[in-house]
A and B are shown apart, each in its own frame.
Chain A
């Protein structure tokens, strides 16, 4: 870890270092992990556009933080890229994704269970870009971050944390690395892979731009070794752009969850994020490849985040592939526009099979951070739970060194002390434990509940009794 850091510092100091021969980043060992079947049959499907929808429903809470407040009214005419929602603080602006008329702005309960304003836009079929969109310019760090904010980009790997907020370095801390996540370790999903294959130079330009603008000395793009073509493309782009002295691609072994933020930081930099901390505590700014690519797209063309590349896959889909989809289009419309279903699915999953969320309402809209829709028939039906046999497989596969079976037991018995003792909040819910459990226990689901219980209990226990 320290050896590596010193090499990195040297590389900054010595002007003659050209990034050739000497590598800044090396692979570090990470704990645990599992090897689910990859199912990446859509990897060779180029991203294609689909018939634009007649209407989109855009929720204003497609990010972690406060929902944006609507800035349009019913009857307003909007273009692609017109701002429809914005807010203060931890929030990301939301833009119209089709041109047309706003038909409704109302508070709704989303399929995720959250309440948020939803802007419904009826398309005029022209799909015109907002003429007011201009290429952004910046001259310093703060202006750059404000530009990123205006792009509406959030963590597109699935976490949906506003990217601009991540880039604001808290006082007293320092970013030393940009770590770009090109792992895509979830089965089925290939949208990041297509991004790297089709827009490698944009990804590399984006990484270089972010690193320069935020004055971060080194950047690494981590890619799993099941995508050697993507690594080649990225390396080629790094060479042509001449940014090899501070941007590097690191190939890491294919293992789920290599793309988990903490695991990614550990495997590429050898550092660990302290419990309860953020990547910045390990000196890292972590961004997904697609996030980087979208940020670069905004700086190049001025078009904010209005479309998302989504992998449509699963055994029920007629034409699996990667599609460029306007945000806010309903799952039903998307599936129909790609050719429909060949059989009735039992499970529709937004995201990958390891961490994705099932939906029961197919009119649910595509959100900014959605990267896949999986329609599965029987592949995703899980057998019933049987008692834990204490085999220890969950402990062995936990990438964060936790003891999932203890957390599972503590969650089920609502034992807040034991949850605290076994570090329940360290869990990132990657699902490796439940995946590997021979008794098919829903360990991850139970720990997730345990986290909720722990949060409310600790808040209650540590708060001084006011009402007494």
Chain B
């Protein structure tokens, strides 16, 4: 008899990495459909370009690093989709490819691949594009079918900053305004997030404090609170980026601190900085503090700790 000798436990639960990442991709799909309806076929095409780039980059990196390829675990697909969602549908493909390649190669793989990256690759990729190709993010396409089709519009936050908001709350909910392809339709983002909550892939420990802090501070700053919550990348960031496993704290306490930190920075950027939007900066900024937050929000062992050293 050829018996296996292995340490316990001999049973394994059902959730697997690729299933978790697959669930996130699934949760992002309704928004892709909405984006197609809003901005035309350019939107899904851009997403596909990003996904293809991410898969190739991840696979090649793994080959160079002599590792088993992790391209099949869908985590790079999540990164690619999130990155694409922060871009305007009219973004040139070479810009999207450069951003995705930066996200996967530099931000993710150079830091050690899945689970080891310090910064959220999608957010870092987006900021890379902002810095390297500012013109690609300077104009956002207006929604299809509007009388001024093909003419670019200002995003609601830019309008708010200049003091003349034109989008109604309903526009903001449905996404029928100019903006990044996956950031505008709050309804579908919410559907995806609720799905992830239902299958217990994510929790609300970071999301709720994030949104609440933005609402409170912008409210104090005299802005229209509902407008501030619904406009811009807050929903995408709070639902899908502040809930990323690798780049956010581990414990509920840590996640709350992370969420509040993101909220404060987002609100301050929106109120005082020259940039209209601060979600991406806030997440990237708070990513740096994750090890520190994790250190000070450890769980308390039952029965205390009996240290032999220290």
Which chain A residues have a beta carbon within 8 Å of chain B's beta carbons? 31, 34, 36-37, 187, 262, 266, 272-277, 344-349, 351, 353-360, 362, 376, 379-383, 386-393, 395, 398-403, 405, 416-417, 420-423, 425-426, 429, 431, 434-440, 442, 444-445, 448, 454, 458, 461-462
Check if B7 sits within 8 Å of A391, measured CB to CB. Answer: no
Check if A395 sits within 8 Å of B299, measured CB to CB. Answer: yes
Q: Top 6 closest A-B pairs, CB basis?
A: A431-B9, A445-B7, A276-B306, A275-B306, A380-B10, A353-B10
Check if A438 sits within 8 Å of B10, measured CB to CB. Answer: no
Check if A34 sits within 8 Å of B13, measured CB to CB. Answer: yes
Check if A420 sits within 8 Å of B9, measured CB to CB. Answer: no
Query: Please, which residue of chain B has its CB at the minimum distance from the CB of A344?
Result: B1
Q: How far is the CA of A383 from the CA of B18 in the complex (A)?
A: 13
Q: How far is the CA of A357 from the CA of B75 in the complex (A)?
A: 35
A sample of 5 more A-B contacts (CB under 8 A), given A353-B11, A356-B8, is A273-B303, A275-B306, A354-B9, A393-B15, A417-B309
A402: B residues at CB distance < 8 A:
299, 301
A333 to chain B, nearest CB (A): 15
A388: B residues at CB distance < 8 A:
115
B117 to chain A, nearest CB (A): 10
Give B1-34 interface residues, CB cut-off 8 Å to A.
1-13, 15-17, 19-20
Is B310 at the interface (CB under 8 A from chain A)?
Answer: yes
Q: A389-B246, A401-B299 are in contact. Are A382 and B13 (CB under 8 A)?
A: no
B20 to chain A, nearest CB (A): 6
B308 partner, pick from A344, A399, A440, A458, beta carbons under 8 A: A458
Is B70 at the interface (CB under 8 A from chain A)?
Answer: yes
Check if A392 sits within 8 Å of B303, measured CB to CB. Answer: no
Check if B3 sits within 8 Å of A360, measured CB to CB. Answer: yes
Q: A347-B4, A389-B114, A420-B308 are in contact. Are A356 and B301 (CB under 8 A)?
A: no
Which chain B residues have a beta carbon within 8 Å of chain A's beta carbons? 1-13, 15-17, 19-20, 70, 73, 75, 112-116, 245-246, 250-251, 298-310
B246 partner, pick from A36, A262, A390, A429, beta carbons under 8 A: A390
Q: How far is the CA of A358 from the CA of B5 in the complex (A)?
A: 6
A386: B residues at CB distance < 8 A:
17, 70, 73, 114
B305: A residues at CB distance < 8 A:
275, 421, 423, 426
Q: A395-B251, A458-B308 are in contact. Are A444 and B12 (CB under 8 A)?
A: no
A101 to chain B, nearest CB (A): 30
Check if B302 sits within 8 Å of A399, measured CB to CB. Answer: yes
Q: List 29 A-B contacts (CB under 8 A).
A: A36-B11, A36-B13, A274-B303, A275-B304, A275-B305, A346-B4, A353-B10, A354-B8, A354-B10, A355-B8, A356-B8, A358-B3, A358-B4, A358-B6, A360-B3, A386-B17, A389-B20, A391-B245, A395-B250, A395-B299, A400-B303, A401-B299, A402-B299, A403-B250, A420-B309, A435-B13, A439-B115, A444-B8, A461-B309
A454: B residues at CB distance < 8 A:
308
A359 to chain B, nearest CB (A): 7
Q: How far is the CA of A445 from the CA of B8 in the complex (A)?
A: 7
Check if A390 sits within 8 Å of B115, measured CB to CB. Answer: yes
B112: A residues at CB distance < 8 A:
387
A271 to chain B, nearest CB (A): 10
Query: Please, which residue of chain B has its CB at the minimum distance from the CB of A386?
Result: B17
A438: B residues at CB distance < 8 A:
13, 15-17, 19-20
B302 partner, pick from A36, A351, A395, A401, beta carbons under 8 A: A401
B10: A residues at CB distance < 8 A:
347, 349, 353-354, 356, 358, 376, 380, 382
B245 to chain A, nearest CB (A): 4
Q: How far is the CA of A362 from the CA of B5 in the complex (A)?
A: 12
Q: How far is the CA of A147 from the CA of B12 in the complex (A)?
A: 42
Q: How far is the CA of A183 from the CA of B172 in the complex (A)?
A: 54
A382: B residues at CB distance < 8 A:
6, 10, 12
A353: B residues at CB distance < 8 A:
8-11
A358: B residues at CB distance < 8 A:
3-6, 10
Check if A347 sits within 8 Å of B8, measured CB to CB. Answer: no
Check if A390 sits within 8 Å of B13, measured CB to CB. Answer: no
Q: A362-B1, A391-B20, A395-B251 are in contact. Are A420 and B302 (CB under 8 A)?
A: no
Q: How far is the CA of A262 from the CA of B112 in the complex (A)?
A: 38
A439 partner, pick from B11, B17, B113, beta carbons under 8 A: B17
A391: B residues at CB distance < 8 A:
20, 245
Query: Please, which residue of chain A has its CB at the minimum distance from the CB of B247?
Result: A390
Query: Please, which residue of chain B has its CB at the minimum distance from the CB of A382?
Result: B12
Check if B70 sits within 8 Å of A380, measured CB to CB. Answer: no
B19: A residues at CB distance < 8 A:
438
A273: B residues at CB distance < 8 A:
303
A405: B residues at CB distance < 8 A:
250
Q: How far is the CA of A31 from the CA of B307 in the complex (A)?
A: 22
Query: Please, which residue of chain B has its CB at the minimum distance from the CB of A354?
Result: B9
B309: A residues at CB distance < 8 A:
416-417, 420, 458, 461-462
A390 to chain B, nearest CB (A): 5
Check if B302 sits within 8 Å of A345, measured CB to CB. Answer: no
Query: Please, which residue of chain B has its CB at the minimum distance from the CB of A462?
Result: B308
Check if A380 sits within 8 Å of B11, measured CB to CB. Answer: yes
A348 partner, pick from B3, B75, B114, B245, beta carbons under 8 A: B3
B303 partner, pick from A277, A376, A420, A442, beta carbons under 8 A: A277
Check if B307 sits within 8 Å of A420, measured CB to CB. Answer: yes
Q: A381-B4, A438-B19 are in contact. Are A389 and B75 (CB under 8 A)?
A: yes
A277 to chain B, nearest CB (A): 7
B43 to chain A, nearest CB (A): 28
Q: How far is the CA of A389 from the CA of B6 in the complex (A)?
A: 23
Check if B307 sits within 8 Å of A421, measured CB to CB. Answer: yes
Check if A387 sits within 8 Å of B116, measured CB to CB. Answer: yes
Check if B113 sits within 8 Å of A387, measured CB to CB. Answer: yes
Most A CB within 10 A of own CB, among B8, B19, B307: B8
Query: Please, which residue of chain A has its CB at the minimum distance from the CB of B300?
Result: A401
B310: A residues at CB distance < 8 A:
417, 420-421
Q: How far is the CA of A386 from the CA of B12 in the complex (A)?
A: 14
Q: How far is the CA of A392 from the CA of B250 in the complex (A)?
A: 6
A40 to chain B, nearest CB (A): 14
Check if A359 sits within 8 Å of B3, measured CB to CB. Answer: yes
Q: A274-B303, A383-B12 are in contact. Are A347 and B6 (CB under 8 A)?
A: yes
Query: Please, which residue of chain B has its CB at the minimum distance from the CB of A446?
Result: B7
Q: How far is the CA of A45 from the CA of B17 in the complex (A)?
A: 39
A266: B residues at CB distance < 8 A:
302
A363 to chain B, nearest CB (A): 11
Query: Please, which residue of chain B has its CB at the minimum distance from the CB of A36?
Result: B11
B59 to chain A, nearest CB (A): 15
Q: How far is the CA of A454 from the CA of B308 in the complex (A)?
A: 10
